[in-house]
Amino acid sequence: MGPGTVAMTGAAGTIGSVLREALRADAERLILVDRVPLRPAAPNEEVRAADLRDATAVAAALAGADAVLHLGGLPDEAPLPELLDTNVLGTHHVLEAARRTGIRRVVLAGSNRVTGFHLVGHLTGPDEPVRPDGLYGVSKAAVEALGRLYADKFGLSVLCLRIGSFERVPTETRHLATWLSHRDAVGYVRAALAAPPVPGFTAVYAVSANTRRYWELPAPAALDYVPVDDAETHAADIPGADLAADPAAPQGGPYARPECTLPHLPHPGAGP
C-alpha cells in the first residue's frame, strides 16, 4: 500500500529537493511545506507556505496528510536560542498537529550528531546514550525526546532517521564512515513511510553500507531497508583515505572541536 498523502516540511532544502522527485512518484498527493517559495512540478504536488515557528501555520500546512516527513529546521551549528526556536519548537508544532489531526505516521529527520562524542572505534547503536557533539546535536536530541514523548503518551507512530553525511559522493575521510548516498536516502525514507503505522518510537541510523562505518545498520524489525552503496568505492578519490582513523577520536570529527561551537555561544557584556 502506498503512503497516501505525504506532507514534507523543508521541501526546498538540500535533502528535500532530492527526495521530492522520488516521493511524488510514490504518494497519491505530495504536500510541499516550506517558508520559501516553491512551485508544483507535477499534478499530485501541492505547495503550502509555513514557518515552523508558527503553530497555526504548521497545523494548516499539514491538514489532510496521512504521513509527515519532517525535514525542516536549521541544519547546522547555530546559537542555541535559534536552534530551540526552529528545530525543537518547530518539531513540537509538527507533532502536535499530527496528534490533533490523526496523522498516522511521522518520520523525523534526526542526525548522527546526537552521538558525535562516541568514539570512532566503537560501533554505535541507536539505543546507546546520546552524546551530542554540539548545540545542533543537542537540538536533535530534544527532537528525538519529543518524538518519543508523543509516541509514548499519545500513541503516535514516530520514526527518527539519524541522517549521515548526505552527499552526492563522499569527499573527505570522515565520509568514508558517515556517507549517506542519495539513493540510500531515498530508500530509507520510502521504507519509513511504507512501514505500518504501529504506535511507538524508533530511531535508526540512516547511513550507507560503508565498510568503515561506525553506526549500526537498522535491524529489519526496526526498518526494512538494506543500504546498497559503500563510500569505499570512492576512496581512491579522497585524500588521506589510505590512513587509518584514530579509534579514540570522536565520531563527530570537526563538529566535536570547541571551535565549531564557540562562535555561537553568548559573550558576556556584549549586550542582548
Residue 269 placed within a domain: no
Residue 271 placed within a domain: no
- Residue 1 pLDDT greater than 60, yes or no: no
Mean of pLDDT over the chain = 96
pLDDT given at position 95:
98
pLDDT given at position 272:
47
Residue 260 placed within a domain: yes
Domain that holds residue 215: 5-264
136 is catalytic: yes
Buried b (16+ CB within 10 A) or exposed e, 194-204: bbebeeebbbb
User: Could you report the per-residue pLDDT of 215-269, keeping only the tens digit for each?
Assistant: 999 999 999 999 999 999 999 999 999 999 999 999 999 999 999 999 999 987 5
Residue 270 placed within a domain: no
- Residue 48 sits in a domain whose CATH number is 3.40.50.720
Residue 272 placed within a domain: no
Which of 104, 66, 110, 116 minimizes the C-alpha distance to 87?
A: 110
Amino acid residing at 59: A
Give me 127's grid cell.
Answer: 539505543
pLDDT given at position 92:
98
pLDDT given at position 3:
82
Residue 10 placed within a domain: yes
- Check: CB of residue 204 under 8 Å from CB of residue 226: no
CA 91 to chain centre: 12
Residue 232 placed within a domain: yes
Catalytic entry in 136, 205, 225, 255: 136
Q: How many domains are there within the chain? A: 1
- Torsion angles phi and psi, residue 261, rounded to 5: -105, -30
Can you tell me the mean pLDDT for 21-31? 96
User: Could you report the per-residue pLDDT of 99-146, keeping only the tens digit for each?
Assistant: 999 998 999 999 999 999 999 999 999 999 999 999 999 999 999 999
